[in-house]
Amino acid sequence: MNEIQKSDFFEVGRDGVKRILTPNDRKTDIIEFEDKTLCYVKSSMGYPAVYPMHKTHFEPKADAILMDLDGTSVHSESFWMWVIEKTTARLLGDNGFKREAEDEPFISGHSVSEHLQYMIDKYAKGGSLELARKYYFEIVNHEMNEILNGRGKSDAFTPAPHLKEFLTAVKSEGIKIGLVTSGLYEKAMPEIISAFNQLDMGDPVDFYDSIITAGQALRKGQTGTLGELSPKPHPWLYAETARVGLGIPFERRHKVIGIEDSSAGVISIKLAGFSCVGISGGNIGQAGVGELCDYRIDDLMQMLDIIL
């Protein structure tokens, strides 16, 4: 985390602000006061927000675990970043376009629109977000159809190592499991269905106690949701999974723990009031939010030592 003197709405030494910290990806600022901590979540869509940052602690045995999808349950981030790259190439009219490695923290873990806006701001200044979204979903629909028919990228969706063993062990302990993703329904469900098919685990809807996605994509002629404006790092997806999906009141948040591989997800879990386990392989270290994780692991099976 980097210490700064001034944020968009806050400044060290003014109105009781003691310190301001920002991750390397600068998507959020953490504002420390004498008696509280706030988190300012920025927005390339024009709708920032400020949330209280609760002190978190976890007491085993867990009542529930909250699991991220991309990168934590299923390895698919490289595929979705490839789709973002393809979308940008189409927007630029340049089939040879390649993103830079430094773009990764900004095009993983957030919403589709946030990812696309970042690419527009960097590579296609003045480009239309609406047109980029149109191209994105055309590419997604084509690639999903190719995958379902055995012609697409064979390595698009791969179950995380030991996913089946971990999930079945948690289930056998009577611990509730919520699946949480900033991905829209039409991109998220094929991932977990593919993973469960590969593991011979049946229907994920029957297995998980709750699955919360960012909703449906808004297109002409159909309704949409708030998913594009309130994804991770906002707290709402994790908060809804625990409170509404699993029926766990805020007062029992010390019996709930989340697991993430992305910086946006880590902050989302913390803002929802839960302790967070950071699993290696994502952008937590690159984004500089490792110190916000209450635990760090390299493999899902290590979670069992924490939650039991």
Question: How far is residue 116's CA from residue 71's CA, in Å, rounded to a whole number?
Answer: 19
- Give me the pLDDT at residue 110, please: 75
Q: For 189-193, what is the mean pLDDT?
A: 88
**Does residue 222 have a pLDDT over 70?**
no
**Does residue 7 have a pLDDT over 70?**
yes
User: To which H or E segment does residue 145 belong?
Assistant: helix 129-148
Choose the final residue of a domain: 104, 124, 148: 148
In a domain, 229, yes or no: yes
Instruction: Indicate whether 70 and 213 sit together in one domain.
Output: yes
Enumerate residues 6+ apart whose C-beta is below 8 A from 28.
22, 39, 40, 41, 42, 233, 267
Q: For 204-219, what is the mean pLDDT?
A: 89
SS3 state of residue 200: coil
Instruction: Indicate whether 144 and 186 sit together in one domain.
Output: no
In a domain, 115, yes or no: yes
**Does residue 4 have a pLDDT over 70?**
yes
Return the number of other C-beta atoms located less than 10 Å from residue 282's C-beta.
Answer: 25
Q: Furthest-apart CA pair in the chain: how many Å?
A: 60
Question: How far is residue 132's CA from residue 112's CA, in Å, rounded to a whole number?
Answer: 10
Q: For 103-149, how does the pLDDT look when each residue is reduced to its tens digit (9 = 90+)?
A: 988 888 677 888 999 999 999 999 999 999 999 989 988 988 887 77
Enumerate residues 6+ apart whose C-beta is below 8 A from 13.
none
**Does residue 226 have a pLDDT over 80?**
no
pLDDT band at 214 (very low <50, low <70, confident <90, very high): confident
- Give me the pLDDT at residue 121, please: 95
Instruction: Indicate whether 97 and 184 sit together in one domain.
Output: no
Choose the final residue of a domain: 148, 179, 205: 148
**What is the domain range of residue 200?**
64-76+158-307
**Does residue 186 have a pLDDT over 70?**
yes
Instruction: Indicate whether 297 and 179 sit together in one domain.
Output: yes
Q: For 54-93, how does the pLDDT look when each residue is reduced to its tens digit (9 = 90+)?
A: 999 999 999 999 999 999 999 988 888 999 999 999 999 9
In a domain, 236, yes or no: yes
In a domain, 57, yes or no: no
Instruction: Indicate whether 143 and 276 sit together in one domain.
Output: no
Instruction: Indicate whether 95 and 170 sit together in one domain.
Output: no
Instruction: Indicate whether 94 and 235 sit together in one domain.
Output: no
SS3 state of residue 213: coil
Beta bridge partners of 178: 66, 210
Domain count, the chain: 3
In a domain, 59, yes or no: no
Instruction: Indicate whether 164 and 294 sit together in one domain.
Output: yes
Question: How far is residue 131's CA from residue 129's CA, in Å, rounded to a whole number?
Answer: 5
Choose the final residue of a domain: 124, 148, 172: 148
In a domain, 239, yes or no: yes
Instruction: Indicate whether 132 and 38 sit together in one domain.
Output: no
In a domain, 166, yes or no: yes
Instruction: Indicate whether 207 and 222 sit together in one domain.
Output: yes
What's the half-sphere exposure (Cβ side, CA atoms, 13 Å) at 222? 7
Overall size of the chain counted in residues = 308
Instruction: Indicate whether 230 and 279 sit together in one domain.
Output: yes
pTM: 0.85
DSSP 86-132: HHHHHHHT-TT----GGGGGGSSSS-HHHHHHHHHHHHSTT--HHHH
Instruction: Indicate whether 302 and 165 sit together in one domain.
Output: yes
What's the half-sphere exposure (Cβ side, CA atoms, 13 Å) at 128? 6
**Does residue 154 have a pLDDT over 70?**
no
Helix/strand number for the chain, H first, E second:
10, 13
- Where residue 297 sits, what CATH number does that domain have? 3.40.50.1000
Average pLDDT along the chain = 92
In a domain, 58, yes or no: no
